[in-house]
Chains A and B, each alone.
Chain A
Amino acid sequence: MNFELVRDFAEVLDAIPAEHPRRRILELLDEAIRRDVHFIDRHPTTLFQCLWNSCWWYDCPEAGKHYDPPEGGWPSGGPPWEKQGLRLFAVLEGWRKTKGYDQPDLVWLRSLRPPPMQLGTSQVAVFQGHENVISAIAFAPDGKLIASASHDRTVRIWDAVSGNVLAILRGLQGMVESLAFSADGRRVACGSGVLQIWDVYSGSELQVIQVNNRVTGVSFSPDGRHVTCVTFSGRTVRIWDALTGTEVAAGRGSYRNSANAINYSPDGNCIATGSADSLVRILDSAANEVRVLKGHKNAVLSVWFSPNGRHLASASADCTIRIWDTETWNERMVLTGHLKPVQSAGYSNDGTRLASADSAGKLLVWDTETWEVIAIHHAPFGYASAIALSPDGKRLVSASEDCSIRIWEAGARIEQAVLHGHTALTMNFAFSPDGKHLASGSLDKTVRIWDTERGTQFFVLHGHEDSIESLAYSPQGNRLVSGSLDKTLRIWDTATGGCLTIRNSLGNYGQFIEFSPDGSHCTHTNQNGAIGVFDTSTWRELIELQGSGGIGNRVWYSCGGRRIVHGDRDKAKHAWDAATFAPLDVDPRLDDPRTNGSDRAELRLRYGEQSIEAEIEDSITHQVVARFADRIMALVATPHARALAGSYENHVYLVAVEGWPNGIPELGWQP
């Protein structure tokens, strides 16, 4: 009854005096519960774990080692971990003692790095449920509902306050790329391969309009009678009768490139579109083009009329927002607060606020009187694909690439601390043989080495010129080899973080690096099945063997290092003598990948049915051991699976398995 608990908190926070010394603690706990409310509701035993992972890290002394100050510095009073008085982490420490006494054998996952998003920011809530990228998002005109469209081929209708999913519109034809509410809030139009109109309340489909193209933008006329759209490769704006589905007008073909956005003016007299040719076009209500607005230097991604119809805002990949006077169609203002392409923008109902989001996840709220930025929010994981302001302008909703919807206090200017670490998707990990260090490789071309006990960063290894594809520690732990798409292997000294040597590699995707158990050789393979074997004393390539191609193929050593085996996750396919490199017959018993190499870890990752969370299961019994609220990708485990590492976009998770029983047989495990 997690939602009941949220209700209790709301009643307490309503009543407790503002000056009560622990009010702040209660507010933070409330925020932490609401952040994971859907997950905890599905897995009620994870409350403690979830709260630990968000609350303990909020103000524990170690948090200071992980965060950079926000833009504009720490607020007065310093960062949370320097504040005086009762600290949240102390509460959590107390709980941990209680928990350790009550249920010493409870298995739970303790994050060894702070969450990407601190508590106490302007983020109000997180809605989870979509299973693929969210492409469009809109508030219903009364502000009570939020509709979101996703590449998972659904549109979800959410209660804007509680986050409950009220309806899931299924049966959509393809990835939904655009979405619009009718002015009365009763219908929603979604554009995918076709244009569909739904009744919001019953969830029933009212119209299906064949467009024969990807619908990239859709808008209802203010009177609700017409619906209009632009498409990816169509050359025109098309308008249909929203009730009958018959086409009433199609504009002249004028787009040289795809059009991205469309919006009716509040009086319904004209339609604005934005397109990849960097132009804004103004059409009359019969879709006859009347004007072309030039100014943007790159594709126009979003167009929006102000509620009083006097202005038009256009957001562009040239990182600017331009405000046009709708009387003269002159450019009135260029807003330059974004450093990345501006994906989306929208007005509040009273027209006093404009919100914009860029592909780096920066959300800005503008005062439309002074055109000053009144609030900045940073959506985690970058790339805010869609944004909407609530009609009252108090809430901002953004869609993140992690398939979540995040609700923000639009006017709050609470700067957010930023975690040290990778800046792009991180997919490769290796634990040092003693489990004390973790290396992570990222699309940001860097390799980072982390202290697995404290979660802090040791080194940043710069040098590669393309994303990191594979990593391996030598058995002695003194060397780290990284393979990159830049077609080089770099060999690093793990004590100093210095690059010892660079070797040409096989490059390509699907790289995999493996040391022989004694450390004398290092093999390197790719998805074509070519295998390079290096002598690790000289880092000379000794031979190139040929296995079979395929994604997920890898190399391992069997028989204590006497055989080199190549194959996939389940099966050995080729074998060679490790000393002479003479081909051998595969012995399924000796060379079984499941008893050799890294898959022998006792814990394995599995995605929950809702796929927004991770389940950790025992790889032998297939029992679920514990659950984690975030979708960890690319999980690796230290020997004996005491700790796990994974990533969630650019955020590296280090997770300790607490309570996992001792006494698991020793396995010759190699990262």
Chain B
Amino acid sequence: MESDQLTTRVRPIIRVFVSSTFSDLKHERNALQDRVWPVLERHCQVHGFQFQAIDLRWGVSSEAGLDHRTMRICMDELRRSQEISPQPNFLILLGDRYGWQPLREEITPAEFAALENKAKGNEEHVKILKAWYRLDANAIPEVYLLRSRLDSPDGKDYTRDNKRNDTDAWQHVQKVLWSLVNQAFPVSGLTQRFDHLTNTATLAGKVAASLPSIVRFQGSATEQEIWHGALSIADAAQHVVAFDRTIDNLAEMASHPKLKDFVNVDDSGKINQDLLAAVQALKRRLHVILGDNYIIAPKSVSLVSMKNANGELQLDIAPEDRPDLEDFLCKQVHDRLLPIIQQQIDDYNRVSETTGATQLSAEVLRDLRREREEHERFAAERAPPGVFVGREAETAQILAYLTSDIDHPFVVHGVSGSGKTALLAYSARAAARRGAILLQRYLGITKRSSDLRSLLTDLCQTLREQFPLAEELPNDVRLLEKEFYEQLKHATAERPIYIFLDALDQLDPADGAHSLGWIRSTPLPPHARLVLSCLSDPDDEVAGRPYAILKQRGFLTEANSTGILELTPDEARDLCQRWLKRAGRRLSDEQQAAVDSRILSPNDTACRQPLYLKILFEETRLWRSFDLPPQKLGTSVPELLESLFDRLCVPAAHGPIVEPALAYLVSARYGLAETELLEVLLCDPDYKQKLIASAQHALPPHANRIPIAIWARLRFDLAPYLTERGAPGGTVLNLYHRQVGNFVRQRFAGDEARSASHARLATYFASQDYFLESLEEQRARAKRLPPTPRPANIRKVYELPWQLLEVAKLSGKDDPKSPHWDAIADLFTDLHFLEAKTEAAE
């Protein structure tokens, strides 16, 4: 959450945030959805990339509006797009409508004072202002927050009535608040909003915190996005694309009841000239900044009045104007984004030209670098500088081990969630010194660190970078192991080799990984040191096995192992404080007392395990100073998670999406890509029904996935518990930490639910194409000699057989007549499947 904006691409994902007003540009958005995104998705997939278009206007449920979180979620999604996809990440569609101006959710004390000033003398206004903007002293610096409409201050209903219209009570509050805003920050101020910007947008990155107050209060949602996505971005001209459409007969329609769909109107229903001027100024500004990437529709379009099926009067773009306009838009957007995307793909796959004497191919070196960076990023996330607390003795012991004569591996062990990973990450950082070769691998977080063969291959190849070998790298585990130990012999006093392997229990059991034969009992070569961590859970037969074996083999002596326990009360308190401080939060005394009652309690040692503290922190950071601490604060990780998910599951939070989304995530073989999750959710008939019942806007005509806005809100709340990792065929999302995964599995994916999830995932993957080429392209390929493999849908050929097999094992059991086993037989006698799996290339 706190990471700085990244400038280099770490994942093969193109994520384009689409910023536009909703009602007046729906045809354009549908056209892009139908005709451009699928083409770009396919193009990216063929090159091993993922393409995601983020269009949040669909699916912002009524609940999201009620708690005023819409803008916060939009901005978070935009920020994620910018982080993941340095270029391109932003597309703007603008018509004549300035768009929805949200009531500011979070204001500074100075802004509050300005509003208060305008309310002075009107007791009711003061009362309303103070009831609805409350000081959150837990934020650093302090802010005033707009009260959720679900949280009525006086028992009145501030939500919506049966006809989905705002209640009168809310309308009144809103009117009062807007009148104060309009006095303190009059809309006319918008005319000067660009004055302090130079022509080349030099505010890059700085704007986020200091958007001019006038934009914060009077700027439309779209304009606020544009400030973050384009106006404040230094390289915007290189990759931000904007489309500008003008309507030529607004004046003629001035009295049409639906005029508001195409232009902002004032209370009397007339065109709001201030806001029309605002959108025009915004367009001019963008044109200056984006230059060639500012696309102006060649022809203005006209509005026509018509009646819909129910006989209601509607206003829409003239049907005869639409085809040309949409063709133009699709072609322009495609033609501009494609080269930018292709450049990104080329850059990502580019290999450095100088390979030196390592005898490794440039591709291998690139992959090694990516793997190393992935682990380094992970380490930095798990033990961020400045927030690691305690463990002084353990860290010192590890550092001493590295330079000692102890010639056996050092083992860190502890129960799940005791902070083994953070300790390894922290001590690895402390151990890094000039000349030392330090490899840290957090097992299971990447595909290459998930099984023994890949892990040893990665380690051997990485060591070969330093100590080249002429022979081909063996692909047998035992020979790899042999080479690994041979390579360790290169360690010298000046150039020691330190290897940190976290979470032995996370390795796939294949190749005897869990029996640990690959960790030799023979002495390590001088100056080569191995630091390992594993779960010490005697109750878990599988995950606890490495620990039991190490213990049996006599590795766990006092000198070269440490069992980590819970933190001391002081450390626990210190850690929570540091986390909060880093997140810019603090707690009220009462809240702190509630936390202390857990973490300082001498008996509740489980409450001082780092994972518990981390989850507790994630909860407490959401507490505002006016919130009362919960009546009962969970005393264990599952209890905390229980209340977390209880909270997420209530309709006002996320409602029906939580259960299916999590069940699918934990039922996938490796995890799911975000688009896959959105698509499979729409295939879920139960969920789809609930979705349609609750959505504010209808789904687009050819929707194949649920609106990302719904998921984005949940993702926002789940962010601390999610992780992204590379899997065959792409990057996938999964739950982070064993205990969270286990909890979710138990709560949302019991045997029956799991079988259903596997079956839906199987159906979903079955519906995809096996090959990423059209039949015509495949035929053309067959004519070219010699024959070459077709690009295959790797995600499908990995997930589908696994999902079907899970279903068959759960539901078909040992019944030979079960249709689930027939489905397996069908798949494994399907030529397309066999060919796709054979022809698929990593």
Contact A45 B839 (CB under 8 A): yes
Contact A8 B778 (CB under 8 A): no
The range of chain A's interface size is 35 or more
Chain A residues within 8 Å of B809, by CB = 15
Contact A1 B486 (CB under 8 A): no
User: Out of B483, B785, B788, B828, which one reaches A618, CB within 8 Å?
Assistant: B785
| Minimum distance in angstroms from A205 CB to a CB of chain B | 12
Q: Which of B196-204, B208-216, B471-479 contacts A (4 or more CB under 8 A)?
A: B471-479
Smallest CB gap from B794: residue in A: A1
Smallest CB gap from A2: residue in B: B838
CA distance A95 to B842 in the complex (A): 26
| Minimum distance in angstroms from A29 CB to a CB of chain B | 7
Mask of A77-93 contacts with B, CB within 8 angstroms, 1/0: 00000000000000100
A210 at the interface (CB under 8 A from B): no
Contact A107 B785 (CB under 8 A): yes
User: Out of A23, A105, A164, A659, which one reaches B476, CB within 8 Å?
Assistant: A164
Mask of B763-785 contacts with A, CB within 8 angstroms, 1/0: 00000000000010011011101
Smallest CB gap from A615: residue in B: B786
Chain A residues within 8 Å of B840, by CB = 1
Given contacts A20-B816, A164-B475, A201-B482, A45 and B828 within 8 Å (CB-CB): no
A159 at the interface (CB under 8 A from B): yes
Given contacts A17-B815, A167-B474, A25 and B786 within 8 Å (CB-CB): no
Contact B478 A201 (CB under 8 A): yes
A98 at the interface (CB under 8 A from B): yes
Q: Which of B38-46, B54-62, B98-106, B829-837 contacts A (4 or more CB under 8 A)?
A: B829-837
CA distance A626 to B785 in the complex (A): 8
User: Out of B474, B821, B835, which one reaches A16, CB within 8 Å?
Assistant: B821
A578 at the interface (CB under 8 A from B): no
Given contacts A4-B837, A164-B475, A103 and B825 within 8 Å (CB-CB): no
A47 at the interface (CB under 8 A from B): yes
User: Out of B787, B789, B839, which one reaches A107, CB within 8 Å?
Assistant: B787
Chain A residues within 8 Å of B821, by CB = 16-17, 20
CA distance A159 to B471 in the complex (A): 18
| Minimum distance in angstroms from B121 CB to a CB of chain A | 76
Q: List 27 A-B contacts (CB under 8 A).
A: A1-B840, A1-B841, A1-B842, A12-B828, A15-B805, A16-B825, A17-B812, A17-B815, A17-B816, A18-B816, A20-B821, A22-B822, A23-B816, A29-B834, A44-B838, A47-B834, A48-B835, A94-B831, A102-B775, A104-B782, A144-B478, A164-B475, A201-B482, A202-B486, A203-B474, A625-B785, A659-B782
User: Out of A15, A107, A201, which one reaches B808, CB within 8 Å?
Assistant: A15
| Minimum distance in angstroms from B256 CB to a CB of chain A | 54
Smallest CB gap from A165: residue in B: B475
Mask of B292-324 contacts with A, CB within 8 angstroms, 1/0: 000000000000000000000000000000000
Chain A residues within 8 Å of B812, by CB = 17
Residues from 423 to 481 in B contacting A, C-beta threshold 8 Å: 471, 474-476, 478-479
Chain A residues within 8 Å of B835, by CB = 47-48
Residues from 788 to 817 in B contacting A, C-beta threshold 8 Å: 788-789, 797-798, 801, 805, 808-809, 812, 814-816
| Minimum distance in angstroms from B359 CB to a CB of chain A | 15
> Which of B471, B783, B835, B837 has most chain A Cβ within 10 Å?
B835
A543 at the interface (CB under 8 A from B): no
Residues from 18 to 38 in A contacting B, C-beta threshold 8 Å: 18-23, 25-26, 29
B824 at the interface (CB under 8 A from A): yes
Query: Which 9 A-B pairs rank lowest in CB-CB distance, beginning with the nearest?
Result: A201-B482, A624-B786, A103-B782, A22-B825, A19-B816, A166-B476, A106-B782, A17-B816, A95-B831
Contact B824 A12 (CB under 8 A): yes
| Minimum distance in angstroms from A87 CB to a CB of chain B | 12
Smallest CB gap from B474: residue in A: A166
CA distance A481 to B478 in the complex (A): 59
Chain B residues within 8 Å of A555, by CB = none
> Which of A12, A40, A661 has most chain B Cβ within 10 Å?
A12
CA distance A106 to B785 in the complex (A): 9
Smallest CB gap from A19: residue in B: B816
Contact B824 A16 (CB under 8 A): yes
Chain A residues within 8 Å of B805, by CB = 11-12, 15
Chain B residues within 8 Å of A12, by CB = 801, 805, 824, 828
Residues from 182 to 231 in A contacting B, C-beta threshold 8 Å: 201-203
Given contacts A95-B831, A98-B832, A659-B782, A45 and B789 within 8 Å (CB-CB): yes
Contact B828 A29 (CB under 8 A): yes
Chain A residues within 8 Å of B822, by CB = 22
A623 at the interface (CB under 8 A from B): yes
Given contacts A102-B778, A104-B779, A26 and B483 within 8 Å (CB-CB): no
CA distance A166 to B486 in the complex (A): 17
CA distance A661 to B809 in the complex (A): 47
Contact B482 A5 (CB under 8 A): no
Mask of B627-648 contacts with A, CB within 8 angstroms, 1/0: 0000000000000000000000
Residues from 606 to 632 in A contacting B, C-beta threshold 8 Å: 618, 623-627
CA distance A623 to B797 in the complex (A): 31
CA distance A104 to B789 in the complex (A): 16
Mask of A522-559 contacts with B, CB within 8 angstroms, 1/0: 00000000000000000000000000000000000000
Given contacts A48-B831, A623-B785, A5 and B838 within 8 Å (CB-CB): yes
A9 at the interface (CB under 8 A from B): yes
CA distance A17 to B821 in the complex (A): 8
A256 at the interface (CB under 8 A from B): no
CA distance A357 to B217 in the complex (A): 91
A99 at the interface (CB under 8 A from B): yes
Chain A residues within 8 Å of B787, by CB = 45, 106-107, 626
Contact B838 A105 (CB under 8 A): no
Chain B residues within 8 Å of A8, by CB = 801, 828, 837
Chain A residues within 8 Å of B483, by CB = 202
Contact B842 A17 (CB under 8 A): no
Contact B783 A105 (CB under 8 A): yes
| Minimum distance in angstroms from A590 CB to a CB of chain B | 32
CA distance A164 to B809 in the complex (A): 30
Given contacts A22-B829, A103-B778, A166 and B475 within 8 Å (CB-CB): yes
Chain A residues within 8 Å of B808, by CB = 15-16
User: Out of B775, B778, B825, B832, which one reaches A20, CB within 8 Å?
Assistant: B825
| Minimum distance in angstroms from B482 CB to a CB of chain A | 4
CA distance A25 to B840 in the complex (A): 24
CA distance A95 to B833 in the complex (A): 11
Contact B778 A98 (CB under 8 A): no
Given contacts A103-B778, A105-B779, A201-B478, A47 and B838 within 8 Å (CB-CB): yes
Chain A residues within 8 Å of B798, by CB = 4
